[in-house]
Amino acid sequence: MFTVCRHNKVPSLVSKFRTATISSVARITTTGSGVTSSCTQATKPPPSTLMKKPAVLYHYPCPDGAFAALAAHLYFSSIHITPLYFPNTVYSPIRVEDLPLNEIDHVYLLDFVGPSGFVHQLHSKVDCVVVLDHHKTARELLGGGTYVSENLIKVIDMDRSGATIAYDYFKEKLINGDNNRAADVDALKIGEFDRVRRLFEYIEDRDLWRWKLPDSKAFSSGLDDRNIEYDINLNPSLFQQLLALDLKSLIEQGKISLSHKQKRIDEVLEKSFEIALGAGTFGCCLAVNADSLPELRSELGNQLAVRSRNMKLRGIGAVVYKVPELENDQMLKVSLRSIGDEDTTSISQAFGGGGHQNASSLMLNSAEFENWKVSNRTST
């Protein structure tokens, strides 16, 4: 029998986004789907900076972040520039001092904005920072909508995913031209963007947990079955692998694997237990240990949230697992998934994490997590 924890729901926030006006220090073209802009420099840079490269930092390991990086790749390969790529993890986030700033002119933050102060630190050290994100925590740090200044461009839109924001931004940037490159753009380069548009739409449908596109869950399952390494530095052929994906084949494969995955989820759900979030600060919900299937955390967490609500607890599921890359068995990742108006970000942010209203995560010491377990709290 579970003890019911009472709580006050945090109302969902709705943001209205405005199209940016033309800035005197940046060229900007807007459409209904995105914004294209290029930071310009007030003075000609010294010769020592002419060989600098753009840096693309993207959310990892996440299909939405990887496809956002793919959009950047499509743009930069079309204009014959090879950026520096830096995957950014929740458990070991990139710090400004980790970047080779002497080699970088522009920085693109795709599907994440970093901790408080990260963007401010960056744009004081490089020519331009471009932020393309959609997380609720990003909006709280930087504000929503589109903003353009001399060396900061920001597009934060919670109605799109990081991948589609980046797709729209870089495609429009290619079409409208940047640094007088418009004449170099041909139909073949634009066609490569158009060819993969549907893949980006499916990635967004999955990431925003809409599941409105035909066979969207089968697509998601088929993509996961490919077990693609999304770190471009560990997998140099990442972008070629993503460009080679076939939507029909992914869906067919996913249909086969979905039922098997559901059986694995059911087995873990049967071992769920109650926790007091933040040792009781944020009410109670159900949790599971998921070291055996962290790749299914979103679907598992969503089903767990439904079960939690049916038990008269908060409509939140906590999927808990170790991150091998940390090489620290005492640290756990807690992926929170919720349904309806339940907001997980107040919980994750309290412990240094973040994300969306219905999907966020945090890192927690295993000893502290043990104190969250209701069975341990009631026995002491």
State pLDDT tens for residues 261-281: 999 999 999 999 999 999 999
Q: pTM here?
A: 0.80
Distance CA 242, CA 223 (A): 10
| Residue 3 reports pLDDT greater than 50 | no
Which region holds residue 300: left if phi is over 0, alpha if psi is between -120 and 50, else beta? Answer: alpha
| Residue 2 reports pLDDT greater than 50 | no
Q: Three-class SS of residue 272?
A: coil
57-77 pLDDT, tens digit each: 999 999 999 999 999 999 999
- What HEC string does 70-101 produce? HHHHHHHHHCCCCCEEEEECCCCCCCHHHCCH
Distance CA 88, CA 50 (A): 26
Q: What is the pLDDT of residue 186?
A: 72
Structure confidence at residue 6 as a pLDDT band (50, 70, 90): very low
Phi, psi torsion values for 49, nearest 5 degrees = -100, -5
In this predicted structure, which of 9-23, 111-125, 241-255 has the lowest mean pLDDT? Answer: 9-23
48, 17, 42: which is closest to 32 by C-alpha?
Answer: 17
Structure confidence at residue 143 as a pLDDT band (50, 70, 90): confident
Residue 79 burial (10 A CB sphere; 0-12, 13-18, 19+): middle
Distance CA 254, CA 248 (A): 10
In this predicted structure, which of 153-157, 237-241, 306-310, 375-379 has the lowest mean pLDDT? Answer: 375-379
152-201 pLDDT, tens digit each: 999 999 999 999 999 999 999 999 875 545 555 678 889 999 999 999 99
The CB density around residue 327, as the number of other CB atoms within 10 Å, is 8
75-132 pLDDT, tens digit each: 999 999 999 999 999 888 999 999 999 999 999 999 999 888 999 999 889 999 999 9
Domains with residue ranges and CATH for the chain = 53-247 (3.40.50), 271-371 (3.10.310)
214-224 pLDDT, tens digit each: 999 999 999 99
Q: What is the pLDDT of residue 311?
A: 98
In 67-175, beta strands by DSSP E: 84-88, 104-110, 128-133, 145-148, 152-156
Token pair of 261 as six digits = 């995955």
Q: What is the pLDDT of residue 377?
A: 65
Distance CA 294, CA 3 (A): 27
Q: What is the pLDDT of residue 4?
A: 34
- Location of structure tokens 């159900």: 286
Note whether 87 and 56 are within 8 A (CB). Answer: no
